[in-house]
Amino acid sequence: MAIRKCALEDLAVRVDKDFWAGKRVLVTGHTGFKGGWLTLWLKEMGARVTGIALPPDTTPNLFEATNLQEGISHVELDIRNATAVAEVIAQAQPQIVLHLAAQPLVRQSYTDPLDTWSTNVMGSANLLEILRKSDSVKAIIVITTDKVYQNQEWWFPYRENDALGGHDPYSASKAATEILTSSYRSSFFNQRGVALATARAGNVMGGGDWSADRLIPDAIRTWQAGEPLSLRNPEAIRPWQHVLEPISGYLTLAQKLWTSPNLSDAYNFGPEATQHINVRTIVDKARQFYGRGDYVVTPATDNLHETQILTLDTSKTRQRLGIKSVWSIDQCIQHTMTWYRAFENGQSAYQLCKSDISDFESME
C-alpha cells in the first residue's frame, strides 16, 4: 500500500497519554538505561507494563534508584530462554511490544562475542517466533542502533536504505537483527496485519546511566572521584541526543503502527544535523553544566576498531512520522548533568525523571 505524503502539521501529535492508558505493553530490557526511562514513562501514562530482563548490571542503576518494580509486572529472565519468555507472553497477552533487551556495549562485544551474538540475534529470534503465534499483539518495535550501517567513514548521514554491516560483534549482531526482523515482517507479520518496525537510535545521554565505556557515565564516575576523564578519541563525531528523544519516537511510532501497520519499516531516530558533534565538545559542555571536571587525552592501546564519523539521516522519520528533535544539544547536556548533580545531592531519581519528562512534554 502506498504511504500518503503528509505535511508535518498533519503529523504533529507526539506521545498521547490517553492512547497508552490501559494498554498492555511488554518491554524487554526494562532494567537497563533506555528501558528504564521507557518503562517509567509508560507507567506514568497508566499503561499495564510487563517487563522481561536480566537483573541490572551496575550499582547504582536506574531500575533500583527509581523503584521501578513497583506498579509493573517485573520478570527476571534471559531473553534466550524461549520457554520462559513464551510463558510470560501467554500470561501478559501484550498488545504492544518494545524490544530493547540486548548486550548493548561495543567493547564488551569484543570480550565475549558469542554472548553478544546469541543475546542480540537469537534472543530477538526467540521473541519474534513467539509473538508471531500471539493473538493479542498488534504492534512490535525492535530497537537496534545507529551502528547497524556499513560505516564508510563518510560525512554523509546514513539513510535507512544504506548497506547494513558492522565491524565489531555488537554492531554486526544488531545489523543481523535488522535482517532477521525484516524477514519475519515479510514472511509472517505482514500477512496477519501485525505491525513490525525497527528503530535505529543515535548516541543517547540522560540521568541514571552508570554503564561502563559510555562517555557521560565515565565522566560522572571520574569527576565524582576527583579524577580527570580519559578520552580515547576526542574528535570522534556521533549523533548525540537525550534519551527522551528516541523514547518519545518509539512511543509515537507505536501509536501510528496501531492504526497504520503499513508504516512497518526501519526508522532512524537521531538529532538535527547541528547535533552531530565531536566527543571533545560534548565533554566541554558537560563540564560547564556539571560545574567541575577535567579530561586528558589517552589514546587506546588495545587496537580495537572505533568509528571516527557516524551521523544519521532522519528525513524519513520526519516525513512519515512527523518526528523531529525537541531539545538542543545544550538542553540535552544541561538536563543530563543537572540530573546527576541533583541525584548526588540526595534528590529522588524517580522525581528527577518525572521532571525531565514533564519538561520534555511541554516542548513537544
Domains of the chain and any CATH numbers: 20-300+309-362 (3.40.50.720)
Residue 6: its pLDDT value, please?
39
Q: 3-state DSSP call for residue 12? A: coil
**β-sheet bridge partners, residue 96:** 25, 139
CA angle (214 as vertex; 212, 217 as ends), nearest 5: 75
Q: Is the Cβ–Cβ distance between 299 and 145 less than 8 Å?
A: no
Q: C-alpha distances in angstroms, 82 versus 52, 56, 215, 244? A: 12, 21, 34, 30
Q: What is the SS3 assignment for 311? A: coil
More confident residue, 305 or 84: 84
What pLDDT, on the 0 to 100 scale, is given for residue 86? Answer: 98
pLDDT higher for 7 or 350?
350
Taking the CA atoms of 22, 26, 29 and 31 in sequence, report the sign of the dihedral they define: positive
What's the average model confidence in pLDDT over 318-338?
A: 95
Whether residue 10 has pLDDT greater than 70? no
For residue 267, give Cα distances in angstroms to 108, 133, 156: 26, 25, 17
* Residue 76 grid cell: 527476571
Cis peptide preceding 94, ω within 30 of 0: no
Q: Is the pLDDT at 3 greater than 90, yes or no?
A: no
The residues facing 199 across adjacent strands are 143, 267
pLDDT digits (tens, 9 = 90+) for 175-195: 999 999 999 999 999 999 999
What is the Cα gyration radius of the chain?
19
For residue 2, the model assigns a pLDDT of 39
pLDDT tens readout for residues 226-267? 999 999 899 999 999 999 999 999 999 999 999 999 999 999
Rounded distance, CA 289 to CA 304, Å? Answer: 31
Q: Is the pLDDT of residue 8 over 60?
A: no
Across the chain, mean pLDDT equals: 93
Beta strand spans in 19-147 (E)? 24-28, 48-53, 73-76, 96-99, 139-143
